[in-house]
Chain A
Amino acid sequence: MALDWHTILCIQSKKRAMKSKIYFLILFLSMTFIIQSCSGVIKMDKIPELQGGSPLSGIKTVIFTVNHFKDDRGSVKEFAGDERTVGMSGGVQPNYRTDRQVNDIVRQAIINELIRNGHRVVATEDSSKANVIIDGTVRQYWAWFEHHHYWPLSYEHTVLGSVKADITVKFSDSGSTFSKSFNGAADLKTYAGFTKGKCESVLNEALLNMVKDFTMDLGFLDGLNKTEKGKLNN
Chain B
Amino acid sequence: MYSWGGHHDGTFIACLLLSPFACMAVEALIESHEDSKNTAHVKEALGEKQFERILGNYFLEEFTKANLFRKVNYYSYEDNYKALIDEGYDSIIKLKIEELCLKRAGRTDKLNLHVSIVAKMVDIQNEQVIWSQHELIISDEEHTFDEYKADGAKLLKELVDKSLRKIGFRLAYNIMYTK
Contact indicator per residue, chain A 67-81, by CB within 8 Å of chain B (1) or not (0) = 000000001000000
Whether the Cβ atoms of B136 and A185 lie closer than 8 Å is yes
Give the contacting residue for A52; candidates B103, B104, B136, B179; CB below 8 A. Answer: B179
Whether, in the assembled complex, B137 has its beta carbon less than 8 Å from a beta carbon of chain A, the answer is yes
Whether the Cβ atoms of A216 and B173 lie closer than 8 Å is yes
25 A-B pairs with C-beta separation under 8 A: A51-B179, A52-B174, A52-B178, A52-B179, A53-B176, A53-B178, A53-B179, A54-B177, A55-B177, A91-B104, A91-B106, A91-B107, A146-B103, A160-B136, A162-B138, A183-B138, A183-B140, A185-B137, A185-B138, A186-B136, A187-B116, A187-B136, A209-B136, A213-B170, A216-B170
Q: Beyond A91-B104, A186-B136: 7 further Cβ-contacts under 8 Å?
A: A52-B174, A52-B177, A53-B176, A75-B107, A146-B103, A185-B137, A187-B136
Asked, given contacts A75-B106, A92-B107, whether A53 binds B138 with beta carbons under 8 Å apart, the answer is: no
A146 to B138, CA, bound (A): 14
B104 contacts across to A, CB distance below 8 A: 91
Contact indicator per residue, chain B 77-109, by CB within 8 Å of chain A (1) or not (0) = 000000000000000000000000001101100
Majority DSSP secondary structure for residues of B touching A? mixed
Give the contacting residue for B140; candidates A54, A92, A181; CB below 8 A. Answer: A181
Contact indicator per residue, chain A 178-215, by CB within 8 Å of chain B (1) or not (0) = 00010101110000000000000000000001001100
A55 contacts across to B, CB distance below 8 A: 173, 177
Q: CB within 8 Å of B: which residues of A?
A: 51-55, 75, 88, 91-92, 146, 160, 162, 164, 181, 183, 185-187, 209, 212-213, 216
**Chain B residue at minimal CB-CB distance from A56:** B177
**Chain A residue at minimal CB-CB distance from B116:** A187
For residues 137 through 160 of chain B, which have their beta carbon under 8 Å from a beta carbon of chain A? 137-138, 140
B116 contacts across to A, CB distance below 8 A: 187
B107 contacts across to A, CB distance below 8 A: 75, 91-92
A44 to chain B, nearest CB (A): 22
A186 contacts across to B, CB distance below 8 A: 136
A55 to B176, CA, bound (A): 9
Whether the Cβ atoms of B178 and A164 lie closer than 8 Å is no
A88 to B138, CA, bound (A): 17
Whether the Cβ atoms of B138 and A212 lie closer than 8 Å is no
A49 to B177, CA, bound (A): 15
A162 to B106, CA, bound (A): 12
A91 to B103, CA, bound (A): 12
A160 to B170, CA, bound (A): 19
Residue among B103, B137, B173, B177 with the most chain A CB within 10 A? B177
B178 contacts across to A, CB distance below 8 A: 52-53
For residues 50 through 88 of chain B, which have their beta carbon under 8 Å from a beta carbon of chain A? none
A187 contacts across to B, CB distance below 8 A: 116, 136
A53 to B137, CA, bound (A): 21
A164 to B141, CA, bound (A): 12
A212 contacts across to B, CB distance below 8 A: 170
A209 contacts across to B, CB distance below 8 A: 136
Residue among B104, B138, B173, B178 with the most chain A CB within 10 A? B138
B173 contacts across to A, CB distance below 8 A: 55, 216
A164 to B139, CA, bound (A): 11
A123 to B12, CA, bound (A): 44
